[in-house]
């Protein structure tokens, strides 16, 4: 027999949020479909005639639900609390009295678990260091600018403010009237939402139930009012407007009704189906995350116990052939008898770890490149601690040069092809400019994956790259010697808060679900610290001053210009990349001095667009002219679309620049098997 709940006004609940459940001994049987129950309005007394009518027309009255008598609860409250903060035994006994033995036992166990978890949570939260206000929010100047802008609008255009208020209250009254109409009819009496589909409101109760429908509609009304108010502010510049807009969107996303238990039908249904077990498991997940992150609440995106680097991720065969305090150099075992003469060296970003290119054999770019006949080397960066505080960008450039020297020594080849991914590509560009000024031609060609070199448009990072936040970061790295990994991860997550913060938190803490065993999300959570000096050089000189694309970036006795990058170049960008937007990558490539430039635009985002093996046949790509004299939009309009991965097209480009085939090179014994030792170092 289907169990009913007040959440849907008496509709059956199935397994997808409306699960069939058998009646348990000692619980109230489901009300039969033939009986109707009149629910009095809030604040009104139920008419006696209605109660008597319901009792006379229904089947024999079901047993009363277990209740806690006030005198029992009072006696439980008066009982002294046991040692270690455990729940008083009388409280559990009083709450369970009248239930079946199994239900009573489960209730008592859950109370004990909640007490223990509560103590652990408080202990973990108390270990959290004092927050740095400089990195928690923008400085007061921005909020003063917003307040002044609102006051200016009020004084100069009061009609606009009044119009917004009238529209808001009009929509609110309409939402209330619709809710009353639904309550009277006991069914949806309003048309479907005109707003775009929002996966947060996929549960049918958001449309069919008066309470949830009103909550959703009022939330959308509030969100629109806030966004309209932001757009109407008279602010000093576009940067301030973009920052205020971003903060407004953060508030709107945070206050979504799905983020609160009382207004989330999915979580309430799950709690009813599991008799509260989902909420206890959610508390367990919360305590685990707080303990694991030093008192900070950072939701786990993946099950950390499901993966082990070198065992089921990052498994391509190879050897560490060189190690320094800053990096390990891995040479991978060849997959062909013959290889191209010129070796290939990849510089991944040091914000995350290199095994994004080797998650599993089916989507491993590392494996695919060895199968194409390349002698492949990959750098694995050290996860720095406070002792690396004085490591700067010049040290990373020196590491690039050192790795190139080692590859040339091991292969006997004077030249090589290089790849840089994300910030790895940015610093590869600096290195190429330095080599140009030194008349060093060791790099035959360069490939840049989702790389920014011109920061004139700061994109979605504009909120974080202003002086107030950057000064806060400077204080942070002065205190700790590094930018801690969790702060960088938090910044990235709040660029997509519904997907990377609130959605996972709902599933983990409110639904009680175990984080998924997803290799990509596991890698995403395995982030690294950043050295203090390097962090500030990158933020101040590259991002804020845009020195490389403008006046020149001073390093190692040279002033490096983006136009000094003159080697044959292939840039891979991604259409929906929010970290390195393709139009910004295009602008940097256009400024480079190379006469041989190829630009490829892949579908999807920063990671999925790169980790896009041909076998998946999932995302296509665009190829256009090599004319960079116009803007990115002109290039896009002239480009042609090709189905499937860009890997084969790039493989052809690379093969043309990799020399003839020679016998395969084996890495030998080495220092340690791939993926090395540095990759196992997790940020505290």
292-347 confidence digits (pLDDT tens): 888 888 899 999 999 999 999 999 999 999 999 999 999 999 999 999 999 999 99
**Contact, 103 vs 27, CB < 8 A?**
yes
pLDDT of residue 160: 83
pLDDT in tens, 583-622: 999 999 999 999 999 999 999 999 999 999 999 888 999 9
| DSSP strand pairing (318-323 vs 327-332) | antiparallel
Unique residue bearing structure tokens 């990052």: 314
% pLDDT > 90, the chain: 66
Residue 381: φ, ψ to 5°: -80, 150
Q: Please name each of the domains of the chain with its CATH number.
A: 133-263 (no CATH), 318-460+529-680 (3.40.50.1820)
Rounded CA-CA distance 155/416 in Å is 65
Among residues 539, 455, 39, 14, which one has the least CA distance to residue 270? 14
- Cβ contacts of residue 103 below 8 Å, gap of 6+? 24, 26, 27, 66, 96, 275
Residues 6+ apart with CB under 8 A from 235: 145, 146, 149, 241, 244
Q: In angstroms, rounded to a whole number, what is the distance separating the alpha carbons of residues 124 and 505?
A: 18
Query: For residue 37, is pLDDT > 70?
Result: no
How crowded is residue 229: how many other Cβ atoms within 10 Å of its Cβ?
Answer: 19
List the catalytic residue out of 422, 543, 570, 574. Answer: 422
**Tally of CB atoms within 10 A around 429:** 26
| Residue 574 annotated as catalytic | no
Angle (nearest 5°) at CA 11 between 5 and 17? 70
| pLDDT tens, residue by residue, 424-469 | 999 999 999 999 999 999 999 999 999 999 999 988 899 899 999 9
pLDDT at 73: 34
Contact yes or no for 211/9 (Cβ under 8 A):
no
Burial code (b: 16+ CB inside 10 Å, e: under 16) for 153-170 equals beeeeeeeeeebeeebee
Q: Which of 240, 48, 5, 283 is nearest to 144 (CA)?
A: 240
Question: Does 531 have pLDDT greater than 50?
Answer: yes
DSSP 457: S
What is the mean predicted confidence (pLDDT) over 213-217?
Answer: 94
Which candidate, 203, 292, 222, places its Cα nearest to that of 506?
Answer: 203
Which candidate, 72, 38, 415, 10, places its Cα nearest to that of 208?
A: 10
* Higher pLDDT among residues 351 and 76, named by residue: 351
Q: Which of 678, 7, 8, 17 shows the shortest CA–CA distance to 348?
A: 678
* Integer Cα distance of 423 and 351 in angstroms: 8
Q: What angle do CA 417, 418, 424 make, to 5 degrees?
A: 175
Residues 333-391 pLDDT 10s: 999 999 999 999 999 999 999 999 999 999 999 999 999 999 999 999 999 999 999 99
Q: Report the predicted TM-score, pTM, of the whole model to 2 decimal places.
A: 0.82
| 8 A C-beta contact, residue 271 and residue 279 | yes
pLDDT at 617: 87
- Provide the 3-class DSSP secondary structure of residue 174: helix
What values do phi and psi take at 345, rounded to 5?
A: -120, 125
| Whether the predicted pLDDT of 66 surpasses 60 | no
> What pLDDT sits at residue 97?
52
Structure tokens at 176: 């209330």
């Amino acid at each position: 027999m289907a169990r009913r709940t007040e959440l849907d006004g008496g509709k059956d609940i199935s397994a997808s949020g409306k699960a069939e459940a058998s009646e348990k001994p000692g619980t109230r049987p489901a009300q039969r479909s033939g009986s109707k129950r009149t629910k009095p309005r809030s604040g009104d007394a139920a008419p006696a005639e209605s109660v008597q009518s319901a009792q006379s027309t229904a089947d024999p009255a079901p047993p009363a639900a277990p209740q806690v008598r006030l005198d029992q609860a009072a006696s439980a409250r008066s009982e002294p609390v046991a040692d270690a903060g455990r729940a008083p035994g009388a409280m559990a006994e009083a709450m369970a009295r009248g239930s079946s033995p199994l239900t009573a036992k489960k209730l008592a166990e859950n109370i004990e678990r909640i007490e223990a978890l509560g103590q652990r949570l408080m202990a973990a939260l108390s270990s959290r260091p004092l927050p740095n206000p400089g990195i928690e929010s923008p400085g007061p100047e921005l909020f003063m600018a917003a307040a002044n802008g609102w006051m200016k609008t009020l004084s100069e255009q009061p009609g606009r403010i009044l119009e917004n208020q009238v529209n808001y209250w009009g929509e609110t009254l309409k939402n209330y009237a619709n809710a009353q109409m639904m309550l009277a009819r006991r069914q949806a009496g309003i048309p479907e939402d005109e707003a775009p589909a929002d996966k947060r409101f996929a549960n049918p109760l958001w449309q069919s139930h008066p309470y949830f429908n009103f909550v959703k509609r009022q939330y959308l009304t509030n969100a629109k009012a806030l966004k309209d108010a932001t757009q109407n502010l008279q602010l000093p510049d576009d940067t301030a407007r973009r920052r205020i807009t971003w903060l407004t969107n953060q508030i709107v996303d945070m206050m979504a009704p799905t983020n609160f238990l009382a207004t989330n039908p999915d979580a309430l249904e799950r709690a009813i189906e599991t008799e509260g077990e989902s909420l206890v498991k959610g508390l367990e997940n919360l305590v685990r995350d707080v303990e694991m992150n030093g008192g900070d609440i950072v939701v786990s995106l993946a099950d950390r116990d499901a993966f082990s680097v070198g065992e089921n991720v990052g498994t391509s065969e190879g050897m560490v052939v060189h190690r320094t305090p800053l990096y390990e150099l891995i040479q991978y075992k060849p997959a062909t008898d013959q290889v191209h003469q010129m070796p290939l060296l990849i510089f991944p970003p040091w914000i995350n770890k290199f095994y994004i290119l080797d998650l599993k054999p089916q989507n491993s770019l590392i494996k695919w490149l060895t199968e194409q006949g390349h002698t492949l080397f990959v750098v694995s960066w050290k996860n720095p601690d406070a002792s690396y505080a004085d490591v700067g960008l010049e040290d990373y450039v020196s590491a690039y040069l050192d790795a190139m020297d080692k590859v040339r020594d091991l292969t006997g080849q004077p030249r090589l092809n290089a790849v840089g991914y994300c910030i790895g590509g940015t610093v590869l560009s600096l290195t190429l400019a330095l080599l140009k000024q030194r008349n060093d031609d060791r790099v035959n060609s360069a490939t840049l994956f989702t790389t920014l070199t011109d920061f004139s448009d700061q994109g979605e990072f504009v909120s974080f790259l202003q002086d107030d936040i950057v000064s806060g970061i400077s204080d942070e790295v002065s205190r700790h010697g590094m930018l801690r990994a969790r702060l960088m991860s938090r910044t990235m997550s709040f660029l997509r808060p519904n997907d990377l913060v609130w959605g996972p938190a709902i599933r983990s803490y409110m639904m009680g679900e175990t984080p998924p065993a997803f290799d990509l999300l596991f890698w995403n959570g395995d982030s690294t610290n950043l050295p203090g000096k390097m962090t500030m050089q990158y933020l101040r000189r590259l991002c804020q001053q845009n020195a490389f694309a403008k006046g020149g970036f001073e390093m190692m006795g040279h002033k490096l210009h983006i136009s000094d990058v003159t080697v044959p170049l292939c840039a891979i960008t991604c259409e929906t990349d929010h970290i390195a937007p393709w139009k910004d990558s295009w602008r940097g490539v256009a400024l480079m001095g190379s006469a041989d430039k190829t630009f490829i635009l892949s579908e999807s985002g920063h990671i999925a667009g790169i980790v896009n093996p041909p076998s998946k046949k999932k995302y296509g790509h665009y190829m256009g002219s090599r004319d960079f004299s116009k803007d990115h939009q002109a290039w896009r309009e002239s480009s042609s679309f090709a189905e499937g991965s860009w890997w084969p097209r790039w493989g052809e480009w690379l093969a043309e620049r990799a020399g003839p085939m020679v016998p395969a090179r084996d890495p030998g014994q080495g220092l340690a098997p791939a993926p090395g030792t540095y990759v196992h170092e997790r940020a505290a």
